Structure 1
Amino acid sequence: MASAELATERALYIGNTISTVVYGGNLFLYAYSTYLLMISTKPVRLRIFYTCFGGLLLLLLTISFASNNAFCELMWIERQNYPGGTSAFLAANMAAWYNVFGTAADCAANILTDGTLGKFTTYILYRCYIIWGSSWPVIVIPAIIYLGSATMAVMMVIQSAMPTSDLWQGLAAQFGISWVALTVGFNIIVTALIIYRLLFFHRRWSPYTGIAEILVESALPFTVLGIAYLATYIQGVPSATAVGIVWGTFVVLMPQLIILRIASGVAWSRDTASNITQTTLLYYHSSSSDSSNITRKNP
């Protein structure tokens, strides 16, 4: 077996192994978030939405996860004697329906995660919108990039379904690289905006914006992993397979963390910024009053 073929199979194995661990984490987060939502005092429509939205993301991740594992099971076990070996099976079955189905599920999860579904959306674009005090101008450019990313994702899935198509080369790869590039660019911009805003409030009132809050609300781990995936995808190195599989699981992991924070009642909301401002003003007003009283008592 050529070294490149061996590296690709090794990347598939490593990617699936890591994604299995992350998938287990997603299952726990969804179950725990659902429990917290069930006992929460939040409006019923909100609890139903977050439960259903998290469940939909988990379903899409399950489809993608099952597709990857089914493909590897066929390649390594059921059809290990395929003419030409595993590399020939890999090349001949990249456009198989179950593989395309898994890719489509992952792209759908990414579109739902990055996008906005109105006031109930849990993730990136809407999170940026509310953290910036419901300011529409802030999200105009990211929204345009998001639309381009969604378009490229759809085109990639359609092209990957064509006979003998390959996600790692040809037209499908060109759409794939465009999709990943736009998605990563979108996440870099929005993550930077969110981190800047949270650090601004962190200097004023740190209890609202600790390190964990900044990492989760800004989706920084997902953005960093996306940059790594884009770099390896463009180069066409075998490790891109492993990074891409893991990146696909983080598409769902980060929103599940947001939902958990919402269910726990600690997530950033529309009123958080104004609450911080009011608390800060009350604190400084109280401090000023205490200083004045001390001055009057000790002329």
Structure 2
Amino acid sequence: MASTELATQRALYVGNTISTVVYGGNLFLYAYSTYLLMTSIKQVQRRRFYIGFGGLLLLLLTIALASNNAICELMWIEQQNYPGGPSAYLAANLAAWYNVFGTAADCAANILTDGLMLYRCYIIWGSSVSIIVIPAIIYLGSTAMAVMMVVESAMPMSDIWQGLAARSGISWVALTVSFNIIVTVLIISRLLFFHRRVQSVLTDQQRSTYTGTVAILVESALPFTVLGIAYLATYIQGVPSATAVGIVWGTFVVLTPQLIILRVASGVAWSRDTASNISLTTLHANFPHNSSSSSSSMNCKDP
């Protein structure tokens, strides 16, 4: 077996192993978030939406993971005597319906996650439409390229790593990574702005909740964006490790919104009122005689 073929199969194995672990984390996060949403005594807006949204993402991830495991089981066990070996079987069955179905599920999960990130950016920036115009345009472009890649990968004897399917795939990953970079930078800059603004006003717990390191990492989806950049770099180069990075990136597509939903369920996510409440708190601290009637509470409604 050629070294490249061996490296690709090794990357496939490593990617599936890591994604299975992350899948377990997704299961726990969804179950715990759903429990918090269902038992919360506070009024949680869009409670059913977040439960349904998280469940749909988990279903799509399950389909993608099952697809990867199915092709590996066929390649390494059921069809191990296929002429040319496992690598030849993999190349001949990349356009198999179950493999395309898994790719489509992963793309659908990515589209939903990017949509949620666009909405979260809109909320964190005070419901400003102008701030999300460019990300929205990129989002539409990445959605179109994702659909094109799935269609091309379903063609007989197509290869997601070569030809038109590969070009569509690279365009999709490039656009969605660009989208995530822009949205991440926008969200981080907004949170850092408020962090500096309230540093001497809020308590350590309040700063940690809304503008702390965990809040910035989760709300901005920074780990997902960094992993997307790594996937794009390896995908463009066509190196075998791109397989492992892509599979893990596909699981983080679902992990990222699940973490955001957990913050919503816990009542600590940014909402439409968070920025205004922080501003009122700052105003009350700086000019107490002018803002005695203003509310400085940080107990915001959930988004």
C-alpha distance in 1, partners of 2:119/2:173?
A: 20
After TM superposition, the structure 1 stretch with the greater mean CA deviation from structure 2, 172-181 or 37-46, is 37-46
Greater helix percent: which structure? Answer: 1
CA deviation map 1:67-104 (0-9, x unaligned)? 00111011011111111101100100000000000000
1:235 aligns with 2:228: no
Q: Report the CA distance between 1:285 and its aligned residue.
A: 2.5
Question: What is residue 244 of structure 1 aligned with on the other side?
Answer: 246
Query: Take 2:197 and 2:246, find their aligned partners in 1: how far apart are those partners?
Result: 38
The unaligned stretches of length 5 or more in structure 1 are 116-122, 290-299
If the length of structure 2 is used for normalisation, what is the TM-score? 0.91
* Aligned-partner SS, 1:168: coil
Match of 1:268 in 2: 270
2 CA distance for matches of 1:107 and 1:288?
52
Q: What is the identity, as a one-letter code, of the residue corresponding to 1:158?
A: V
Which deviates more, 99-108 or 205-214?
205-214
Q: Which residue of 2 aligns with 1:218?
A: 220
Following superposition of structure 1 onto structure 2, how do residues 204-215 of structure 1 map, counting pairs within 5 Å? 204-206=197-199, 207=207, 208-215=210-217
1:42 shift after superposition:
4.8
- Counterpart residue number, 1:294: none
**Regions of 4+ moved over 3 Å:** 41-45, 286-289
Residue 82 of structure 1 corresponds to: 82
Match of 1:174 in 2: 167
C-alpha displacement of 1:51: 0.7
Distance 2:279 2:211 in 1: 13
Task: State the shift of 1:9 in Å.
Answer: 0.2
Q: CA deviation at 1:44?
A: 7.2
* 1:281-296 correspondence runs (5 A): 281-286=283-288
Give 1:153's aligned amino acid.
Answer: A
Which of 254, 257, 281 is 1:255 aligned to? 257
Gaps of 5+ in 2: 200-206, 292-303
| Identity %, equivalent residues | 82
Shift of 1:205: 2.0
Any conservation in 1 of the 2:37–2:44 contact (CA below 8 Å)?
A: no
Residue type at the aligned position of 2:80: Q
Counterpart of 1:159 in structure 2 is 152
Greater shift in the superposed pair: 204-213 or 185-194? 204-213
* Residues 224, 253 of structure 2: 8 Å contact kept: yes
1:102 corresponds in structure 2 to 102
Q: Are the structure 2 counterparts of residues 214 and 3 from structure 1 closer, same or farther at C-alpha, using a change threshold of 3 Å? A: same
1:94 partner letter:
L
Question: What is the root-mean-square deviation in Å for CA atoms of aligned residues?
Answer: 1.5
What TM-score, normalized by structure 1, do the two folds share? 0.92
- Residues 161, 26 of structure 1: alpha-carbon distance in 2 compared, 3 angstrom cutoff: same
Write the distance in 2 (CA, Å) between the matches of 1:32 and 1:64. 22
Q: Deviations over 1:121-165 (max 9, x none)?
A: xx2101110111111010001000000000000000000000000
Query: How far apart, in 1, do the equivalents of 2:42 and 2:226 lie?
Result: 33
Other-structure match for 2:128: 135
Partner of 1:195: 188
